[in-house]
Amino acid sequence: MNDEPRTTDDGLQTECTRCAEYLDGWKRCKADYENLIKETDRRRMEFTKYANEELLSLLLPAIDQYETALAFTPDVSDLPDEQQKPLKNWIIGLHAVRDLWEAAFAQIGLEKVLTVGTFDPTVHEAVEQETSDTVAPGDIIKVLQDGWRIRDKLLRPAKVIVATDPS
Amino acid sequence: MSKILGIDLGTTNSCMAVVEGGQPKVIENAEGNRTTPSIVAVAKTGERLVGQIAKRQAVVNPTNTVFSVKRLIGRRWDDGEVQRDLKWLPYQIVQKDDGVRVTMSGKDFSPEEVSANILQKLKADAETKLGEKITEAVITVPAYFDDSQRQATKVAGEIAGLNVRRIINEPTAAALAYGFDRKKDEKIVVYDLGGGTFDVSVLEIAFDAGTSQNTVEVRATNGDTHLGGDDFDQVLIHWIVEEYRKLEGIDLSKDTLALQRVKAAAEKAKIELSSAMETEVNEAFITMDAGGPKHLLLKLSRAKLEELVGDLVEKTLEPCRKAMADDKLEPKDINEVILVGGMTRMPLVQQAVEKFFGKKPNMTVNPDEVVAIGAAVQAGNLQGDIKGELLLLDVTPLSLGLETLGGVMTKLIERNTTIPTSKSQIFSTAADGQTSVEIHVLQGERDMSEGNRSLGRFTLSGIPTAPRGVPQVEVTFDIDANGILSVKAQDKATNKEQKITITASTNLSKDEVEKMKKDAEAHADDDKKRHELIEAKNMAESMIYTTEKMLKEAGDTIAEADRKDVEEKIEALKKVKDGDDVAAIKTAGDALATAGQKVGEAMYKKQQNDAATTPAPDAPPSDGETKPSDDEPKEGEFESKA
């Protein structure tokens, strides 16, 4: 950029145009800077609110598999008492561990997405559709993976199988 | 004047960016994501869905969910591409005159209208994020798009309520993102491997005498419209399923839930192996048989992944050869290579490109966003945010500061600070009665002054005599847009000032700057230790001075035993403060601080007692008492240094 001023009378208009351009550029930069401050403040507040998002996203697969493991709890009722008791106790312990993180999640505003009733693409992701005699078309038959929401933001949609019209 | 939006309207995903503060910046959509799936659907309720929400219901509404509409936009019905895509796209494609329509919920839409839905969502989300109306855009298209396809894309923008200021080629946008439009007479290859398509383009930057500006010309283009990241995922999914079948005799592809988990695990493993040499596919309780629950636990190395997908990477090189041949070029003729698309994060892809072209490809800009960034740069150019000559601001390459007590460098302006800039800090004197200060201006990254470059010195004299730490000398470092540094020192009591102007503060060569940075890194530990020692010594000096002064002022108000204890601690600190043992200095300092608290306590107690026994101001003093002087410090008043 050439900042050397011209000295001829003809150059006055050019200089005025340049001045106006510089002033506009300066105002724009000032405005951008003020907007950056506002945006930084907004992002800082958002970050504070959702700071745990990435960490939680990394932990969720482990939570998923833990829940799956609990779902596969073996039936020990046929075993002799002396074998049943320690296993039952161990299973109680596993449930107690789950209760710990559920309490922690409640504290930070992390909750599961509801997966009962009509399929809702804002919080559910359909991975399959199946016919069903008992579930109305468009309703959720089965949950393959839980969805999670932190405060008002969807962290991960629930993966579901949706009933389809048999016809 | 509102901002012009730069939009990468992709086949699988779209992205948008604007220029803010002279820098292009990607804007997140309403869902908080930086890219938006290029998918539009009409739900069973009749509601129009766009983006991630449309993608999530695609499986249950396949005939009313339109994706990859970019493959159809601006094409004729009898176009070979249309007839091929007709066979595999799950939604209905119909003929209208010699054009194409897609059907959603019994109604026909042109590809322009479908693309307009995507652009409308991007526009609305940008308006929400920026807090201003968006009426104009720059939209990118593949280099091979003909006039009809470009015009159709422009129409899509207009339907969305956007005045499309420019349609630019995607590889050109990528070049703009890197600033390569300034590289006159250079040849640039853009290698774009995305989710579903592969494109390679050869660009030439030429000087246009008519406009006195550089122009970017697409000299050749080639690719594969059905080769992308999805194909890499499929290979890995297939391998996992086959390995598991060998191990457990179970076909996971027959189990919906298991297959879902395998797909997610495959994509995750592929991404992890771009940075790690090995990963584990860990999906416990993936299925069940008569023997109970079964787990999928497979180790996958980067080498194995590269073996599996090697053919796909090799497949991208043939279009590269063809594009080069079309422009009669050889790899040695290429000056720069740019990587675009998420798949280019794979080390094997980067290595293959480097080997083919004989040079390291550029990948510092996020490959998923580089086209949108380039569109924003073009938008900024049009708007005047980024001038044709470019209003560039410099940065100061190394930190600037001055020498303080103990030979330490105190930084005022950190390196890489954009200039022009100004920074001030208040300093004080180091000794009682000091009436001048020397300002030694330094440049560099080392903690100790002697390791840095001396830019100049000057002295500010005439400071009123005062105890150490009392005078306030404001030192201001100011760098103008031309890199000229002015350092001013002003005594706040007398307003006396001195200054120095240094013209060479940003004149270091790149090599010199790098050498100084490397020196600082190499000596970082040593410098840190020395700095700690100096700080400990300074602290010790200060404590000794303050405590001795306090003892003098306390007089006989403190008990002899306490006085003796404090004096012993002072002597102990004096013994070690000139040595090199930081820990010993700190220990002796802490001991003195604890002992010194008793002095402070005694002084406050005396003051309280005096206040309790002192008569009313007008009452005559009783025998043995002296009337407090108005000059003595009053309780509740204090001086603080700014």
Which pair of structure tokens corresponds to residue B294?
Answer: 């079964």
Q: How far apart are CA B544 and CA B566, in angstroms?
A: 10
Average pLDDT over residues B217-235: 92
Q: pLDDT-derived band of residue B504, with 50, 70 and 90 as boundaries?
A: low
For chain B, the average pLDDT equals 88
Contact B20 A35 (CB under 8 A): yes
pLDDT for A39 equals 79
Contact A127 B389 (CB under 8 A): no
Q: How far is A65 from chain B (nearest CA, A)?
A: 6
Q: How far is A121 from chain B (nearest CA, A)?
A: 5
- B291, B311, B331 - which closes a domain: B311
Domain that holds residue A15: 11-51
Q: How far apart are CA B566 and CA B579, in angstroms?
A: 21
- For residue A126, the chain B residues in CB contact (below 8 A) are 56-60
Residues B484 and B544 in one domain: no
Residue of A28, A49, A142 for testing the chain B interface, max B β-carbons within 10 Å: A28
- Residue B277: give its domain's CATH number: 3.90.640.10
Nearest partner of B373 among B114, B163, B181, judged by Cα: B181
- Decide if B180 contacts B186 (C-beta within 8 A): yes
Reply yes or no on whether the pLDDT at A1 is more than 50.
no
Q: How far apart are CA B121 and CA B112, in angstroms?
A: 14
Please, what is the end-to-end C-alpha distance for chain A in angstroms?
72
How many domains are contained in chain A?
Answer: 3
The verdict on residue A75 lying in a domain is: yes
- For residue B282, the chain A residues in CB contact (below 8 A) are 65
B8 is catalytic: yes
Smallest CA–CA distance from A34 into chain B, residue: B21
Q: E strands along B142-258, which residues?
A: 163-169, 186-193, 198-208, 213-224
Reply yes or no on whether the pLDDT at A79 is more than 60.
yes
Task: Name residue A7's amino acid.
Answer: T
How many domains are contained in chain B?
Answer: 4
Q: How far apart are CA B487 and CA B241, in angstroms?
A: 69
Catalytic residue among B113, B136, B181, B192: B192
Contact B20 A65 (CB under 8 A): no
CA distances from A127 to A154, B81, B95, B431, B483 (A): 18, 29, 31, 76, 60
Reply yes or no on whether the pLDDT at B230 is more than 60.
yes
Least confident of B9-13, B223-227, B522-526: B522-526
- For residue B391, the chain A residues in CB contact (below 8 A) are 1, 25
Residues B257 and B139 in one domain: no
The verdict on residue A70 lying in a domain is: yes
List of residues 6+ apart from B455 with CB closer than 8 A: B400, B441, B442, B443, B485, B502, B504, B505
Catalytic residue among B3, B55, B70, B537: B70
Contact A119 B60 (CB under 8 A): yes
Average pLDDT over residues B221-225: 92
pLDDT for B506 equals 57
Reply yes or no on whether the pLDDT at B440 is more than 50.
yes
The verdict on residue A94 lying in a domain is: yes
- For residue B293, the chain A residues in CB contact (below 8 A) are 72
The verdict on residue A64 lying in a domain is: yes
Residues B516 and B532 in one domain: no
Q: How far apart are CA B497 and CA B499, in angstroms?
A: 7
Residue with the bigger pLDDT between B8 and B85: it is B8
Reply yes or no on whether the pLDDT at B627 is more than 70.
no
Residues B452 and B593 in one domain: no
- For residue B256, the chain A residues in CB contact (below 8 A) are 127-128, 144, 161
- Whether B637 has its CB under 8 Å from any CB of chain A: the answer is no
A152 phi and psi angles, rounded to 5 deg: -100, 10
Residues A57 and A67 in one domain: yes
Residues B143 and B53 in one domain: yes
Residues B11 and B132 in one domain: yes
B55 is catalytic: no
Q: pLDDT-derived band of residue A44, with 50, 70 and 90 as boundaries?
A: confident
Highest mean pLDDT: which range of A18-27, B87-96, B133-142, B288-297: B133-142
Residues B26 and B142 in one domain: yes
Least confident of A154-163, B193-202, B227-236, B382-391: B382-391
Q: pLDDT-derived band of residue B231, with 50, 70 and 90 as boundaries?
A: very high
Reply yes or no on whether the pLDDT at B309 is more than 90.
yes
Average pLDDT over residues B535-539: 90
Q: How far is B440 from chain A (nearest CA, A)?
A: 33
Residues A59 and A100 in one domain: yes
Strand B4-8 and strand B136-141: pairing? parallel
Q: pLDDT-derived band of residue B243, with 50, 70 and 90 as boundaries?
A: very high
Residue with the bigger pLDDT between B508 and A12: it is A12
Average pLDDT over residues B516-535: 85
- Whether B288 has its CB under 8 Å from any CB of chain A: the answer is yes
- For residue A4, the chain B residues in CB contact (below 8 A) are none
- Decide if B279 contacts B273 (C-beta within 8 A): yes
Q: pLDDT tens digits, residue range B326-342?
A: 989 999 999 999 999 99
- Decide if B200 contacts B327 (C-beta within 8 A): no
Q: How far apart are CA B354 and CA B118, in angstroms?
A: 35
pLDDT for A153 equals 87
Alpha helix positions (H), B555-615: 560-577, 582-613
Task: Name residue B14's amino acid.
Answer: S
pLDDT for B623 equals 42
Residue of A94, A125, A129, A155 for testing the chain B interface, max B β-carbons within 10 Å: A125
Q: pLDDT tens digits, residue range A113-147?
A: 999 999 999 999 999 999 998 999 999 999 999 99
- Decide if B420 contacts B481 (C-beta within 8 A): yes
Residues A90 and A117 in one domain: no
Average pLDDT over residues B422-427: 93
Q: pLDDT-derived band of residue B628, with 50, 70 and 90 as boundaries?
A: very low
Nearest partner of B3 among A129, B324, B584, B17, judged by Cα: B17
Q: pLDDT tens digits, residue range B368-378?
A: 999 999 999 99
Nearest to A126 among B49, B57, B389 (CB): B57
- Helix (H/G/I), strand (E/B), else coil: B517: helix
Residues A69 and A103 in one domain: yes
- Whether B253 has its CB under 8 Å from any CB of chain A: the answer is no
pLDDT for A139 equals 94
Average pLDDT over residues B604-633: 56
Contact A72 B283 (CB under 8 A): no
pLDDT for B385 equals 57
Least confident of A108-112, B47-51, B419-423, B577-581: B419-423
The verdict on residue B332 lying in a domain is: no
A-to-B residue pairs, Cβ atoms closer than 8 angstroms? 66
How many other C-beta atoms lie within 10 A of the C-beta of residue B271?
14
Contact A127 B260 (CB under 8 A): yes
Residues A61 and A40 in one domain: no
- Helix (H/G/I), strand (E/B), else coil: B94: strand
The verdict on residue B493 lying in a domain is: yes
Region for residue B495 given its phi and psi (left: phi exceeds 0; alpha: psi -120 to 50; beta: otherwise): left
CA distances from A33 to A39, B382, B419 (A): 10, 21, 14
The verdict on residue B262 lying in a domain is: yes
Q: What percent of chain B has pLDDT over 90?
A: 63
Reply yes or no on whether the pLDDT at B622 is more than 50.
no
Residues A88 and A118 in one domain: no
- Whether B59 has its CB under 8 Å from any CB of chain A: the answer is yes
pLDDT for B120 equals 97
B126-129, long-range: CB < 8 A, 24+ apart:
B126/B5, B126/B16, B126/B18, B126/B27, B128/B30, B129/B27, B129/B28
- Whether B509 has its CB under 8 Å from any CB of chain A: the answer is no
Give the distance between the most distant pair of CA atoms in chain A.
109
Residues A104 and A119 in one domain: no
Q: How far is A8 from chain B (nearest CA, A)?
A: 25
Catalytic residue among B3, B8, B112, B403: B8
Q: pLDDT tens digits, residue range B23-78?
A: 899 999 999 899 999 999 999 889 999 999 999 999 999 999 999 999 999 999 99
- For residue A162, the chain B residues in CB contact (below 8 A) are 59-60
Residues B88 and B234 in one domain: no
- Whether B376 has its CB under 8 Å from any CB of chain A: the answer is no
The verdict on residue B451 lying in a domain is: yes
Residues B169 and B23 in one domain: yes
The verdict on residue A4 lying in a domain is: no
Residues A115 and A165 in one domain: yes
pLDDT for B626 equals 40
- For residue B32, the chain A residues in CB contact (below 8 A) are 153
- Whether B257 has its CB under 8 Å from any CB of chain A: the answer is yes
Residues B271 and B136 in one domain: no
The verdict on residue A93 lying in a domain is: yes
Residues of A near B (Cβ–Cβ under 8 Å) read 1, 25, 28-29, 32-33, 35-36, 65, 68-69, 71-72, 74, 119, 121-122, 124-129, 138, 144-145, 153-154, 157, 159, 161-162, 164
Please, what is the end-to-end C-alpha distance for chain B in angstroms?
43
Residue of B45, B52, B257 for testing the chain A interface, max A β-carbons within 10 Å: B257
Q: pLDDT-derived band of residue B529, with 50, 70 and 90 as boundaries?
A: confident
- Whether B249 has its CB under 8 Å from any CB of chain A: the answer is no
- Decide if B582 contacts B596 (C-beta within 8 A): no
Contact B60 A129 (CB under 8 A): yes
Domain that holds residue B305: 229-311
The verdict on residue B29 lying in a domain is: yes
- For the entire predicted model, the pTM comes to 0.71
- Residue B89: give its domain's CATH number: 3.30.420.40
Average pLDDT over residues B552-569: 86
Catalytic residue among B85, B112, B170, B336: B170
Q: pLDDT-derived band of residue B442, with 50, 70 and 90 as boundaries?
A: very high
Residues B535 and B569 in one domain: yes
| Unique residue bearing structure tokens 């997908």 | B309
Q: pLDDT-derived band of residue B624, with 50, 70 and 90 as boundaries?
A: very low
Reply yes or no on whether the pLDDT at B641 is more than 50.
no
Contact B20 A32 (CB under 8 A): yes
Q: pLDDT-derived band of residue B392, with 50, 70 and 90 as boundaries?
A: low
Residue of A17, A47, A59, A128 for testing the chain B interface, max B β-carbons within 10 Å: A128
- Whether B1 has its CB under 8 Å from any CB of chain A: the answer is no
Q: How far is B384 from chain A (nearest CA, A)?
A: 9
Average pLDDT over residues B172-195: 89
List of residues 6+ apart from B536 with CB closer than 8 A: B577, B582, B585, B586, B589
Q: Please report which helix (H) or strand (E) contains residue B453, including its range.
A: strand B453-460
- For residue B20, the chain A residues in CB contact (below 8 A) are 32, 35-36
DSSP characters over B392-440: ---B-SS-EEEEETTTEEEEEE-TT-BSSEEEEEEE--SSTT---EEEE
B192 is catalytic: yes
- Whether B420 has its CB under 8 Å from any CB of chain A: the answer is no
The verdict on residue B342 lying in a domain is: no
Residues A134 and A94 in one domain: no
Q: What percent of chain B has pLDDT over 70?
A: 93
Is the bond leading into B615 cis (omega within 30 degrees of zero)? no
The verdict on residue B372 lying in a domain is: no
Residues B95 and B65 in one domain: yes
Nearest partner of B377 among B18, B34, B16, B13, judged by Cα: B18
How many other C-beta atoms lie within 10 A of the C-beta of residue B506?
20
Q: How far is A104 from chain B (nearest CA, A)?
A: 24
Contact A128 B49 (CB under 8 A): no
List of residues 6+ apart from B291 with CB closer than 8 A: none
- Whether B32 has its CB under 8 Å from any CB of chain A: the answer is yes
How many other C-beta atoms lie within 10 A of the C-beta of residue A8?
7
Q: pLDDT tens digits, residue range A7-22?
A: 667 789 999 999 988 8
Is the ipTM higher than 0.85? The answer is no
Contact B59 A164 (CB under 8 A): no
Q: pLDDT-derived band of residue B614, with 50, 70 and 90 as boundaries?
A: low
